[in-house]
Structure 1
């Protein structure tokens, strides 16, 4: 069973975080949520999430994928956390997946994971002048190598389903998606 880490920062976008957590767990992927600060995480719209662990408890563990929810100031908090940058660098060095949605692709950019890659994000989250080596596109979900990026809350379900497909294959994605009653 694949293992996925989802770091949660104060001010993260709850729609993205919960959608990703929920759909990956429906696919029977082991999901570990880890707060970058102790205790419950207050999200951008006031929802409080209780992480499974503190980031320090799992930061040295191996994961098949690390997924960063966006939202502000959540993405900024993730970007300022050296443990998150270290995790992402280890993921890249081990040729494992890293993914981010909304404003969180800025963390991938500042870690260098988007250098020479095509990516997407919430409009303005990645400063093209600061990161000219990143090819920014306006697509819902973009995969380039072992890096996946997505636009924002409205693309969270497509993003999570794509992550399921990458980790478990198209049949598992289809099985999860069929039960969601999404319009054709």
Structure 2
């Protein structure tokens, strides 16, 4: 395996109820490319994954949002699942942490229901995106231009629909984190 992401640090923002494969597969892709990953959450201890609607494994939280700073990372991953994005979207620290990556022009990756956090942080207006079919109308209502394809890349913002798209999503994650900052990355534009 090539170590092209060596020295790159990926923050993975998740809470209880994230879709397990949407965290583990991108995490493995970055680590296999030589990068580092840090699981960031709301509380210390562990967070519970889901495998579809069943409980999955628990994962150790490396850092809480109280201690995490966007400037310490090169990119952000927001896994989906039914519950994690819904919890994070109502947490101001999660929204602020996510917004900081956009202000710092760093890549942000969101899959499945993960873009719900971006909606609540007012980060999708004018952006080309995708997400799980159930949230595509929510993205449109928030001002995004929604494309129904495996991966959509818009100036450092990378979104994907579901676990079936992880091959394409992971390849783009590694590519984008290696590219670094994107001058066109922005919080939002007027529609």
1:44 maps to which residue? Answer: 50
The answer to whether structure 1 residue 6 and structure 2 residue 12 are counterparts is yes
Structure 2: runs of 5 or more not aligned: 1-6, 180-191
The answer to whether structure 1 residue 31 and structure 2 residue 37 are counterparts is yes
1:15 maps to which residue? Answer: 21
CA positional deviation for 1:95: 1.1
CA positional deviation for 1:27: 0.7
Contact between 1:8 and 1:51, CA under 8 Å: does it hold in 2? no
The answer to whether structure 1 residue 141 and structure 2 residue 122 are counterparts is no
The answer to whether structure 1 residue 151 and structure 2 residue 161 are counterparts is yes
CA positional deviation for 1:125: 1.7
| CA distance, structure 2, for counterparts of residue 6 and residue 162 of structure 1 | 16
2:106 maps to which residue? Answer: 96
| CA distance, structure 2, for counterparts of residue 4 and residue 129 of structure 1 | 28
| CA distance, structure 2, for counterparts of residue 75 and residue 110 of structure 1 | 10
Contact between 1:11 and 1:42, CA under 8 Å: does it hold in 2? yes
The answer to whether structure 1 residue 108 and structure 2 residue 118 are counterparts is yes
Contact between 1:7 and 1:67, CA under 8 Å: does it hold in 2? yes
| CA distance, structure 2, for counterparts of residue 2 and residue 24 of structure 1 | 9
| CA distance, structure 1, for counterparts of residue 103 and residue 177 of structure 2 | 18
The answer to whether structure 1 residue 119 and structure 2 residue 129 are counterparts is yes
2:91 maps to which residue? Answer: 81
2:141 maps to which residue? Answer: 130
Q: CA RMSD in A?
A: 1.6
Deviates more, 1:22-31 or 1:155-164: 155-164
Specify the SS of the correspondent of 1:124: helix
Contact between 1:2 and 1:64, CA under 8 Å: does it hold in 2? yes
TM-score normalized by the length of structure 1: 0.84
CA positional deviation for 1:57: 2.3
Q: Closer, same or farther in 2 for the Cα pair 1:53/1:114, shift >3 Å?
A: same
| Residues paired across the two proteins, number | 168
Contact between 2:90 and 2:120, CA under 8 Å: does it hold in 1? no
Deviation string, structure 1 residues 89-136 (Cα, Å, up to 9, x no partner)? 1111111111100001111122222110110000122415632x2111
| CA distance, structure 1, for counterparts of residue 157 and residue 139 of structure 2 | 18
Contact between 1:3 and 1:63, CA under 8 Å: does it hold in 2? yes
| CA distance, structure 2, for counterparts of residue 113 and residue 54 of structure 1 | 22
